[in-house]
Amino acid sequence: MKHFLDLSDAGGDAIAAMLADAQDRKAARAGWPKGKPDADEPLAGHVLGMIFEKNSTRTRVSFDVGMRQLGGTTLILDSGTSQLGRGESIADTARVLSRMVDAIMIRTDDHAKAEELARHASVPVINGLTDRSHPCQIVADLLTMVEHGKALPGLEVAWLGDGNNVLHSILEAAGIFKFNVRVGVPKGYEPDSEFVEMARRGGASVTVTDDAREAANGADIVVTDTWVSMGQNHAHNKIAAMAPYQVSKKVMELAKPDARFLHCLPAHVGDEVTEEVFEGPQSVVFDEAENRIHAQKSILLWCFGKLGG
């Protein structure tokens, strides 16, 4: 049984296989209706249970549509309509759902909840987002980079803004695929040192600086995210600290001429990124969003043992 709580649960060979599979499946579906299953329907008869303790658009739709395209079905639980919201334990939820569905995806706050779910489940568990990491998003990001002609080893990735869960998974990916990350972040908002050291041990160069220009200079990829994540307090103070890290045209001009801009969405245009960049020719944010479907499908196939790596 294969859980996917972080990228390291799969490893480089498996993630490379996911990227190849996602590209092939995406190409094979060109021009098809979104609801038409893939020709092979590899997950026919399988059910994915999805637990949402945080709001979602891309994670919810991409897993739902992706599972249907693979021939399977989904069901959704949230804290307002399930017994989780009335105090039923994660452990009991895991054991019950394991008798009723074939895999579980959870989108929550505390990463320990995903870990506890995986400990007690007898079916694969997928991290759809926690405060610690967002591995499914990064598989889609890597797919987008490759689609736009970026070879991962040696790539220069600039991150501007908050040292959050998305950055943590980018750093984990950097160590796996040997690309470099320049993190431009205000003091006090740095990424967890665990992920910085993980990337460095894997052979990536990681620079953490409070100078946004230094981070963006010569980058192949420029990435940002919303400055205030769901449930965070003291938004006013945080936004003020983040203001110098806005991705503007001047910032993109510091990157390479063929650099691409990524954002996992939802975006607050005018805060972390200007409209000129978000809607500009270097932005690939909607390719990135679409690629969530193809990435989730390959993650699901890996969890079910139907993908190499």
The catalytically annotated residue of 111, 292, 294, 296 is: 292
6 among known catalytic residues: no
The catalytically annotated residue of 21, 58, 120, 264 is: 264
Paired with 181 in beta bridges are 157, 206
How many angstroms separate the CA atoms of 25 and 207, rounded? 36
The catalytically annotated residue of 225, 282, 296, 303 is: 225
292 among known catalytic residues: yes
The catalytically annotated residue of 137, 246, 282, 296 is: 137
Coil/strand/helix, residue 136: helix
The catalytically annotated residue of 3, 134, 168, 182 is: 134
258 among known catalytic residues: no
Q: Where are the beta strands (DSSP E) in the chain?
A: 47-52, 73-78, 103-107, 125-129, 156-160, 180-184, 206-209, 221-224, 260-263
Task: Give residues with Cβ within 8 angstroms of 173, minimum separation 6.
Answer: 7, 15, 138, 141, 142, 179
DSSP letter (8 states) at residue 263 = E
162 among known catalytic residues: no
Backbone angle region of 240, left / alpha / beta, with phi > 0 → left and psi within -120 to 50 → alpha? alpha
Coil/strand/helix, residue 223: strand
Q: At what angle do helices 12-28 and 135-147 cross, to 10 degrees?
A: 60
Assess contact for 267 and 39: CB atoms under 8 A: no
Residue with tokens 């001429």: 257
107 among known catalytic residues: yes
The catalytically annotated residue of 58, 60, 107, 263 is: 107
Q: Which residues are catalytic?
A: 107, 134, 137, 225, 264, 292
